Structure 1
């Protein structure tokens, strides 16, 4: 069955191009040129792609209303705005944020990730010697049956990585998602938290197999 996408964009040239591109990828696309009627349309959709600059209500307001009405429906924001303030404002409710211009293949990849994440959350994720219970914020060592105590930030970092399985996440992405503030180049805060997280999760923290380092880019959890 085709996945249905609600696409809200007031620029007709861009809207036509992207609607046709998504249709070619076998998505059923409902296109609105403003936020009017968005909540009603979203009820039948699997994902929302939302431009920030809209006539009438802006994309931030429309997106917040959509998330309030349908918290499980992923929202992907599109914007020409690149400031960290706009990104953080958007990510306060949206599931992803893509700046214009963008390559359609990147958009398609992000859509696939978001749609995978909206499937039913598994009660438990088996990861090496770990049993992860996402809904309960618990991590258990399967060898002993004992829960591994993580701090709040360690849970947030690990859960964020698990929400993007097999995907390489940059330090900036992780830091801004967890701390909700701009990442400053050279800041070692995340690196320190990752080190302590590995000491609790890894069999050999010096050779991590769960939270992998991708040199020069960031981190990844393989599932």
Structure 2
């Protein structure tokens, strides 16, 4: 899924290259390391790690333990030729999932998607935005770029989102946000302008001004 960044830690060039092609074809951003030495500067940008066990230097178990000890909430999927139950149990204890090589790419992708959904929630994509309606969060172009709304801006955005592809009049906004206050029509325009600026929608293709009627959040926009 576009927007997620995956780190592959795999010393086998053929397997690492295959994984990279599979994931890039699915729209993931991919980073690949052949051992654990260079991963620490990468981790703050990573959403999921695909970890081999047999690696030069520290093995995959040791690296995963360090990731968890550092308090990083990054799911780890072990991808290993080891098929014995002890290896599987250790992997499932340290990480979130374990898949044996050789693997079917469809199974890998499904396991990854379930792990990402469990960790980050289910997102809807609108243009460059990723929207987590359950947690009321919006990400701009990637999951490390959360849009920092004020409380009012967040309410306005998700009010539009909950009624997406429908026109909301200014009276709708007043009834929802300020039912007992004097209705200064310009205040809605000001807040919408601020929301648009924060989601890089200055042209109003996502939050569209329907002249004489109100505003509409479009799920399909022209690029």
Which residue does the alignment assign to 1:44? 45
Once residues 71 and 121 of structure 2 are traced to their aligned partners in structure 1, the CA distance between those partners, rounded to angstroms, is 15
Q: Secondary structure at the match of 1:116?
A: helix
Once residues 72 and 44 of structure 2 are traced to their aligned partners in structure 1, the CA distance between those partners, rounded to angstroms, is 11
Once residues 107 and 27 of structure 1 are traced to their aligned partners in structure 2, the CA distance between those partners, rounded to angstroms, is 13
- Give structure 1 regions of 4+ aligned residues with deviation exceeding 4 angstroms: 120-123
Which residue does the alignment assign to 1:100? 101
Once residues 13 and 121 of structure 2 are traced to their aligned partners in structure 1, the CA distance between those partners, rounded to angstroms, is 35
Q: How does 1:118-197 map to 2 (within 5 A)?
A: 118-119=119-120
Aligned length: 123
Once residues 62 and 103 of structure 1 are traced to their aligned partners in structure 2, the CA distance between those partners, rounded to angstroms, is 25
Q: Which runs of 5+ in 2 are unaligned?
A: 123-133, 136-223
Mark the CA change 1:112 to 1:101 in structure 2 (over 3 Å): closer, same or farther.
Answer: same
Return the TM-score normalized by structure 2. 0.52
RMSD: 1.7
Q: CA deviation at 1:90?
A: 1.1
Answer yes or no: is the 8 Å Cα contact 1:78–1:98 preserved in 2. Answer: yes
Which residue does the alignment assign to 1:115? 116
Answer yes or no: is the 8 Å Cα contact 1:51–1:59 preserved in 2. Answer: yes
Q: Which runs of 5+ in 1 are unaligned?
A: 124-223
